[in-house]
Structure 1
């Protein structure tokens, strides 16, 4: 009898240990709250991926240093995936097995590839990709976008182009080229932008930036032959800077208005392109550090305590910081309400977020059960004397 009782107790104990190890612990009451993350630190978007990752990680360090979420720390589990979709899928599976209750992602290709599994696993997911596909609730019910979608960014820019063309008294119709990263990220806004622009008379063309290219003269010659008045770049900073230098050599920067969507509108572009960046316009859902707003204070003070500064780290750092802050706000509401910290409850908490104030870093962030696009407006900035200077107030996407 004693042997049987001992055996039963052993089985019960082992079962308890297995359950604890296999995933329930990520949001277990009173313990650390596990959040998974993947970053591009060595891949083709690492120029912008590295400062973004530092912003996410430093926010967690800062938060935990202040007592965490209602007394509970965030345990951020992360790794470099080098912009490889298969590596992203492997790390996502690993971290879900380890019990994460939320996830911070990165690229468009990997986030779109994962969205079905994210929905099945019920893991709230905030990517640095703002692909409009990730805002489709029926296909991606656990994906949330803090930044304005690439499609909305492109449409806002196209509307500005129409207004600019008219204000300058130009005849005919403007010609616009989307010069883009050769990836799902790069092409993401094209169809929505074309559907908006072509019926309004804009002549449009898309052209990919060849992978691994060290010169874009051939592509820019095609753009010039098309007669482009505006070139919208949906890419990251390094290739955008090379394009601007090549365009300057061809005498195009005085004739054509170059515009960057958010991932090449940053300080990296200015540092690399130098005077070729003068006059470039940037579509910015997130405020650059060259414009001081209250929402940058905590990050800047944290960095100064480490011998750095927000000016040094740049726009994508504050972008990562505040994206993690928005995810944390959902987690905070769950903990404060005394509910179990799991994906379903975090999703519901995020969907109740209305006009969340980022201190001027973005437009107020709102989600709902039917709309996971956190912001639908942005400001345009322009490079003047090597600095991003505000050009417009917030512009909302036409039709909302």
Structure 2
């Protein structure tokens, strides 16, 4: 894996205002930090995974600064918690723009979609933890970039696996966060079933926020005849579903997508996690991929490890790395504008992750801002994510 050279000053909240360029400005000949806004869920309903992801971005920032920065300049993290509240995200976006951010790292699907028109108007490159498929089309959202397989691609892979595992026919309950994030892959899933002629009966069930258990939803799924529960939600509620399945002694298998397909799901569910399946584009800490070595080396100095921090830490780390590669390319062209960062991302070629993501690299083009399409499929065995298949793309 290539040695990365960029750097970022890691303030969890707003950092000291130094020289920076506004969106569209040219500050390549200026000294001082390069500002990147970060909208994070550290206290809201997705903070269980959001805090780990954000910590990974800030870890990358700190590591990069220690390596000397981008062309000798640090990146300054303008980072704040929005608690999964869309109006707060909109306020923070405006604040970061006014403070001179040259790019933004966001979080949720609802806020990313709500900001998309402003992002386009401001010509401000934007990555987030939302993998909604509609954000990958530069004809519609030219400044949004999605680093990983979309939720729809993950769902397609899940449905293919379920159809095969079920012997060609399956009843599937889709448990989802009651939000744009939760609903993001549903229409594409139904289209995929029709296009591929899958004998899959798919019914959707919104998961009430803050529910003590999901016994009622599981009862509905049982009435449907569902043997598989695909979950598009974060780890904590998914773990509760696993506990409820075990407590009710139900013959059902969970298939988690990205945000509950992790070590936190296993830790929280305990023995109830055994045998369930995880569709996860990002390699778990126990995978031994090359791209995790630099993270573990950094975390050792922080008194931690990737095994402790979890795969979402690496997810945040390499999402920030991809953004920085765009910044680096713009600086090389002596034009640190949003347009130049966008062009640099579209022409960067393969951005190496050392195997940290499904097919090893992230790559954007002028025609597609879908950075990757391959994912891994894992099964929980003896409390570990055990690979069933890696590098799987929908087909």
TM-score w.r.t. length of structure 2: 0.91
| 1:395 and 2:374 are equivalent in the alignment | no
Paired with 2:169 and 2:177, the residues of 1 have a C-alpha distance of: 26
Unaligned runs of 5+ in 2: 1-17
Aligned to 1:39: 40
Aligned to 2:98: 97
1:174 alignment partner, SS class = strand
Q: 1:302 aligns with which of 295, 298, 302?
A: 298
The alpha-carbon distance between structure 1 residues 275 and 368, as it changes in their structure 2 partners (threshold 3 A), is same
RMSD, aligned CA: 1.9
Paired with 2:306 and 2:146, the residues of 1 have a C-alpha distance of: 23
1:35 alignment partner, SS class = strand
Cα deviation, 1:295-332, whole Å, max 9, x if unaligned, reads 01111111110111111100111100000001111111
Aligned to 1:135: 136
Cα deviation, 1:318-361, whole Å, max 9, x if unaligned, reads 10000000111111122223x21111000000001322220010
| 1:163 and 2:164 are equivalent in the alignment | yes
For the Cα contact (< 8 Å) 1:27–1:34, is it kept in 2? no
1:140 alignment partner, SS class = coil
Aligned to 2:212: 214
How big is the shift at 1:215?
Answer: 1.1
Cα deviation, 1:152-197, whole Å, max 9, x if unaligned, reads 100111111222233xxxxx72111111111110111000001111
Unaligned runs of 5+ in 1: 1-16, 167-171
In our comparison, the structure showing a higher alpha carbon Rg is 1
Paired with 1:395 and 1:18, the residues of 2 have a C-alpha distance of: 44
Aligned to 1:292: 288
Aligned to 2:11: none
Paired with 2:132 and 2:150, the residues of 1 have a C-alpha distance of: 6
2:264 alignment partner, SS class = helix
Aligned to 1:117: 118
2:260 alignment partner, SS class = coil
| 1:200 and 2:195 are equivalent in the alignment | no
For the Cα contact (< 8 Å) 2:20–2:34, is it kept in 1? no
| 1:279 and 2:275 are equivalent in the alignment | yes
For the Cα contact (< 8 Å) 2:120–2:143, is it kept in 1? yes
Aligned to 1:225: 223
For the Cα contact (< 8 Å) 1:23–1:97, is it kept in 2? no
Aligned to 1:243: 241
1:176 alignment partner, SS class = strand
Paired with 1:373 and 1:178, the residues of 2 have a C-alpha distance of: 24
Q: Which moved more, 1:275-284 or 1:133-142?
A: 133-142
The alpha-carbon distance between structure 1 residues 21 and 347, as it changes in their structure 2 partners (threshold 3 A), is closer
Aligned to 1:5: none
The alpha-carbon distance between structure 1 residues 27 and 181, as it changes in their structure 2 partners (threshold 3 A), is farther
The alpha-carbon distance between structure 1 residues 23 and 275, as it changes in their structure 2 partners (threshold 3 A), is same
Paired with 1:204 and 1:282, the residues of 2 have a C-alpha distance of: 18
How big is the shift at 1:224?
Answer: 0.8
Paired with 2:174 and 2:71, the residues of 1 have a C-alpha distance of: 46
How big is the shift at 1:84?
Answer: 0.3
Cα deviation, 1:1-20, whole Å, max 9, x if unaligned, reads xxxxxxxxxxxxxxxx9997
Q: 1:349 aligns with which of 339, 344, 348?
A: 344
TM-score w.r.t. length of structure 1: 0.90
How big is the shift at 1:22?
Answer: 9.8
How big is the shift at 1:210?
Answer: 0.8
Cα deviation, 1:70-92, whole Å, max 9, x if unaligned, reads 21110111100000000000000
Paired with 2:163 and 2:37, the residues of 1 have a C-alpha distance of: 42
2:372 alignment partner, SS class = coil
Cα deviation, 1:363-385, whole Å, max 9, x if unaligned, reads 32111011000001111011100
Aligned to 1:321: 317
For the Cα contact (< 8 Å) 1:290–1:311, is it kept in 2? yes
1:119 alignment partner, SS class = helix
